[in-house]
A and B are shown apart, each in its own frame.
Chain A
């Protein structure tokens, strides 16, 4: 039962939230948000280099992973089989990935870039198959479920970063041709 001190706190509750962060907090946060979405072209080149290094690393790790078992009943478990919420999460990412892929094809990207991207996506899909087989052995293991969501996120981020890079490159090209005209 609530005592007099708890009652006092409840009645004064709003007054306890009186501290304010630094004066620039909103501007700092806006920058952090923007940093998550955009980078300047130079940073993008560094990012592309980092992706290559990362995936060379992933490929090495993947080679040492046991092969994912063939998809048969009870040997693998997809996110959508965990719960209706996870089915929704999986549907969301699948749809976003398809959309991003369609946008990339619409841009008519250079073949080498597409091949590299597809290779990296395949590695992630292979990793996802491995996680599915692990989830079948340890149903409901939150760490595996989190890794599966992270896997989808990484695929989507990879596609989005490629898209952003291409858009910036095209804008830059358009601007240059406009200035030269």
Chain B
């Protein structure tokens, strides 16, 4: 079987993005097919609503293709696209009447209670417990654990301080653990 080297994958990818930049709809659909699932799951973890997550994911792709001429370094495309999805999802969440947000000023950061050596939780159990968390905790936990942002980046995304992000994260982790224990 013929294998494709990582460098040729990169150049195929760069070529595809260049075609997207020039408005090639076929290339835009190819890029959509590559990333829709990851971006959909990112939006879903934040807004918790399937229809809304799908709409936000698609609106993010449209915005990304539209703004592509302003993206200087095409190798940063996925991180850039994810940031668009995250920003759109958070804006949408904040507009909801039920949004419970962040409590600024809670800068005392509790310790994270240590886990047992073996973690008896399934992926589905962790997902369900994440969904049961208050919005503020869920968003910080999602961005840190699943999307790979650090506390400085989360602070910038959410317009909070990095110490609030750390404190929300530790509180959220402890609450998540309680939820997982109570389910088992």
Contacts and interface: CB of A to CB of B under 8 A. Distances in A.
A22 interface: yes
A29 B61 contact: yes
Interface string A21-49: 11001101110111011000000000000
Contacts of B146: 9, 13, 16
Interface stretch (B28-36, B80-88, B97-105): B28-36
Contacts of B38: 17
A5 B173 contact: yes
Given A29-B32, A29-B58, A21 B40 contact: yes
Interface in B112-129: 112, 114-115, 117, 119, 121, 123, 126-127
Contact of B36 (A8, A9, A18, A21): A21
Interface in A102-131: none
A93 interface: yes
Contacts of A21: 36-37, 40, 50, 53-54, 57
Contact of B54 (A6, A25, A92, A149): A25
Nearest to B67: A149
Given A3-B112, A37-B23, A89-B69, A16 B58 contact: no
A33 B123 contact: no
Given A21-B36, A21-B53, A25-B54, A15 B69 contact: no
Interface of A: 3-6, 8-9, 12-13, 15-22, 25-26, 28-30, 32-34, 36-37, 85, 88-89, 92-93, 149
A149 B70 contact: yes
- Please indicate which of the listed interface residues B51, B70, B115, B145 has the most CB atoms of chain A within 10 Å of its own CB: B70
A16 B32 CA distance: 20
A25 B23 contact: no
B44 interface: yes
B41 interface: yes
B58 A28 contact: yes
B163 to A, nearest CB: 18
A12 B123 CA distance: 8
Given A15-B123, A149-B70, A6 B145 contact: yes
B53 A92 contact: no
A12 B146 CA distance: 10
Interface string B59-103: 001100110011010000000000000000000000000000000
Nearest to B29: A30
